[in-house]
Amino acid sequence: MNLHEYQARALLKAVGIPMFEGDVASTPTEAEAIARRIGGTVVIKAQVHAGGRGKAGGVKLARNPSEAADEAAKILGMTIKGLTVHRVLVVPAAEIATESYVGLIMDRETQRPVYMVSSAGGVDIEEVAAKTPEKIVRLPVDPTSGLFPHQALRLAFVLYRDFAQVKAAAKIMEQLYEAFVSNGASLAEINPLVTTPDGRVLALDAKIVIDDNELFWRPDLGVLRDDSAEEPSEAAARRANLSFIKLDGNVGCVVNGAGLAMATMDLVKYYGGEPANFLDIGGSSSPEKVINALKIITADPHVKAILFNIFGGITRTDDVANGIVAATRQFKVDVPIVIRLTGTNEVEAIRILEGVGMRALSDMDQAVQQVVQLARAAA
Amino acid sequence: MSIFVDRSTRLIVQGITGREGSFHSRQMLEYGTALVAGVTPGKGGQTFEGKVPVFNTVEEAVRTTGANASVIYVPPMAAGAAVVEAADAGVPLIVCITEGIPVMHMSRAMPFVRGRGVRLIGPNCPGLIAPGVRAKVGIIPGNICTPGRVGMVSRSGTLTYEVVNHLTRAGIGQSTCVGIGGDPIIGTNFIDCLRAFQEDPETDAIVVIGEIGGTDEQNAAACVKAEITKPVVGFIAGQTAPKGRRMGHAGAIISGSSGTAEEKLAAFEAAGIAIMRRPVDVVEQLRKHL
């Protein structure tokens, strides 16, 4: 789960990381009040889950409170990469001496949190990593013992010469590690970490991604989710416990298992079709999940045909069959449905479907070819 | 023969009294797995299905029954601790089926598991099955498998079933099918399985089923090139996946240039792995190379 910048700032502030003061506003009046409190020139930043906010006109300078209101009015409600801006962050336009990068990521390769720091901050860190990897210092942290003081110091010495600044940065390294662990993050980033002309070290921008698996037992983090920052059909799917991603094609896909779902999309493409979505109904099935899946897929007007591809293991194919029958009774499905199912309780599933005049195929290739043809005929 | 499990495998089920644990324990018993004990804290002294003793701790279960493998079905928040408990009891093979374990829990468990020198398969995996010795540890349906000489290793669940099903229907049996799991942090990886299949005298060819995200398939390809003399057939799921999106598995994240299907397929091809464009192609590719 991605957090907005203002939410990430709050988590970093909670562990004591120094930052310029600033606050979030959802109206121009609120933005004006914050700008007045801060005093001087401020920056108004759109809070959306999209990169390139500046280029899209979502980051503006305002020299006084009334300008802050004007700029906020322009940014609030604007669309950046398909996402509507509902909030802006107002922070001072402070003078900056240096910019560095500090990131902490859960690394698959070493299976532990890895610190990455670079004095080449403020720019695209991926570009630095690609072109001049020697400018990024990496340090894996043993999660059982945590970040040792000497490791924090070593990271800080990569960034600064002045010992007062080194000590300040080392403290921030320890605090960021604490925020990473205590919030179950898979990424925590300060970019840039800045120094001011008078020598202070502060976090200017923050990005935090929370491991979705933590949310189950951390309702305090779950409330930070911003539904309006997601594709509406994807938010609906998540609430129905379905793993769903909307795509641009016209063949709707309902599959059990992420690997099989991806292989199904690939096969649709292989036979000349375009998948409309990725949808994994998960392991344990229930007729209700199937109903929700069909609701979400049929809401997309581009979908011309729907494919069910179910390989029963834990998933009982009769549950899926019951779900299909129940859904088609609850609401009208205007597009043709091709059903492929095999595995656990398939005899029962076929009987259920035949009872309402539906057919089930047992072969994946045959089913995909059929649904691609139907979608093409309807397009 | 088989890898990781054989006729001497004596299995514990952690979470045997739970909904998933009890369902799959019955299936494992039915298949013929030597399921010798269950563990559920607080339910020690009970018996499962009238024949499998239930213990409070893994240590007690191992001491009493001489078990040498454990499969974990406990809920996500307790599963990382269950892995550590099994490792602490010295269980040499631990298979964790549980999906949804916080990555930090696994990150903390792994140094301990490695320190004990035990093998962990998973988490978030379907487990493994060796049809020739009737050993099923996990949730792979037994009825779609048949004994034979093809080794299979996969990051997926149901996609593995799809490919195994094609093999079985074509009369090509399997020595062992291993699902290594789709999480960012897993115990046993492709390379561990490739090496074990290479050493297994009763495996003649290997099928590798990968997916987008991470670099495990690229590492596997490098291993095949350097060490594996048996024919290898490979598949990558997610060729049509949009970049930067998570597709169910935490593992299936494409970030930057490392992790796309094209990159993985190119690595496979460069290593001499025969590419399956569709799951059904596994049959033709194996016949060509066997």
DSSP secondary structure, A218-250, as one string? -HHHHTT--GGGS-HHHHHHHHTT-EEEE-SSS
Interchain CB distance below 8 Å, A311 and B162:
yes
Position B2 in a domain: no
Q: Looking at the structure, do residues B145 and B79 belong to the same domain, yes or no?
A: no
Residue at which a domain ends, from B77, B93, B121? B121
- Can you tell me the mean pLDDT for B244-252? 50
Closest CB to A211 among B102, B240, B242: B102
B202 with B1: CB under 8 angstroms?
yes
Q: Looking at the structure, do residues B199 and B238 belong to the same domain, yes or no?
A: yes
Window 248-267 of A: residues touching B by CB (8 A cutoff) are 255-263, 265-267
Window 151-180 of A: residues touching B by CB (8 A cutoff) are none
Q: Looking at the structure, do residues B181 and B103 belong to the same domain, yes or no?
A: no
| Residue B235, C-beta contacts closer than 8 angstroms, at least 6 positions apart | A263, B163, B207, B208, B209, B210, B275, B276, B279, B281, B282
Q: Which amino acid is at A47?
A: Q
Position B53 in a domain: yes
The CATH number of the domain covering residues in A232-378: 3.40.50.261
Residue at which a domain ends, from B86, B121, B156? B121
With beta carbons under 8 A apart, name residues in chain B contacting A217: 77
Q: Lowest-pLDDT range, A194-203, B45-54, B215-224, B236-245?
A: B236-245
The reported pLDDT for the residue numbered A122 is 66
Position B93 in a domain: yes
For chain A, count helices (H), then strands (E): 13, 17
Percent of chain B with pLDDT over 70: 94
ipTM given for this complex: 0.92
Interchain CB distance below 8 Å, A142 and B111:
yes
Window 246-265 of B: residues touching A by CB (8 A cutoff) are 247-252, 256
Closest A-chain CA to B102: A213
- Number of domains, chain B: 2
The reported pLDDT for the residue numbered B254 is 40
- Can you tell me the mean pLDDT for B228-240? 96
d(CA B69, CA A255): 32
Which of the following CATH numbers is that of domain A21-92: 3.40.30.10, 3.40.190.10, 3.30.1490.20, 3.30.450.40?
A: 3.30.1490.20
Helical axes B158-169 vs A258-270, angle rounded to 10°:
60
Fold of A98-222: D-amino Acid Aminotransferase; Chain A, domain 1 (3.30.470)
The reported pLDDT for the residue numbered A81 is 78
Position B35 in a domain: yes
Position B283 in a domain: yes
Identify the H or E element spanning B179: strand B174-179
The reported pLDDT for the residue numbered A324 is 95
Residue spans of the domains in chain A: they are 21-92, 98-222, 232-378
Closest B-chain CA to A113: B107
The reported pLDDT for the residue numbered A148 is 98
Of B24, B105, B166, B249, which is the active-site residue? B249
Closest CB to B237 among A113, A213, A259: A259
Q: Looking at the structure, do residues B166 and B51 belong to the same domain, yes or no?
A: no
Q: Is A99 a catalytic residue?
A: no
Q: Looking at the structure, do residues B80 and B154 belong to the same domain, yes or no?
A: no
Q: Looking at the structure, do residues B30 and B156 belong to the same domain, yes or no?
A: no
CA B142 to chain centre: 14
The reported pLDDT for the residue numbered B245 is 58
With beta carbons under 8 A apart, name residues in chain A contacting B185: 106, 108, 111
Q: How far B64 CA sits from the closest chain A CA (Å)?
A: 31
Domain containing residue B64: 11-121
Q: Which of A145, A250, A262, A314 to mutate to test the interface with B (most CBs of B within 10 A)?
A: A262
Window 9-48 of A: residues touching B by CB (8 A cutoff) are none
Q: How far A66 CA sits from the closest chain B CA (Å)?
A: 39
Q: Looking at the structure, do residues B115 and B177 belong to the same domain, yes or no?
A: no
The reported pLDDT for the residue numbered B246 is 55
The reported pLDDT for the residue numbered B247 is 52
Closest B-chain CA to A256: B158
Q: Looking at the structure, do residues B114 and B165 belong to the same domain, yes or no?
A: no
d(CA A35, CA A25): 10
Q: How far B112 CA sits from the closest chain A CA (Å)?
A: 9
The reported pLDDT for the residue numbered B196 is 98
Q: Looking at the structure, do residues B144 and B285 belong to the same domain, yes or no?
A: yes
Looking at the DSSP bridge assignments, the partners of residue B253 are B246
| Residue with more model confidence, B223 or A232 | B223
Contact of B162 with chain A, judged by CB distance below 8 Å, is answered with yes
d(CA B69, CA B47): 19
Q: Looking at the structure, do residues B242 and B146 belong to the same domain, yes or no?
A: yes
With beta carbons under 8 A apart, name residues in chain B contacting A143: 104, 107-108, 111
Q: In this predicted model, what pLDDT tens digit does every residue of B27-44 receive, in sequence order? A: 999 999 999 999 999 999
The reported pLDDT for the residue numbered B256 is 42
For all residues of chain B together, what is the average pLDDT? 93
Report how far apart, in Å, the C-alpha atoms of A352 and of each of A189, A306, A358, B129, B180 are. Answer: 53, 19, 9, 31, 35
d(CA A98, CA B288): 61
With beta carbons under 8 A apart, name residues in chain B contacting A345: none
Those residues of chain A that have pLDDT short of 70 are 122-124, 284-285
Position B127 in a domain: no
The domain that contains B74 carries what CATH number? 3.40.50.720
Contact of B108 with chain A, judged by CB distance below 8 Å, is answered with yes
- Can you tell me the mean pLDDT for B219-240? 96
The domain that contains B231 carries what CATH number? 3.40.50.261
Closest A-chain CA to B209: A259
With beta carbons under 8 A apart, name residues in chain A contacting B209: 259
| Contacts A–B by Cβ distance under 8 A | 158
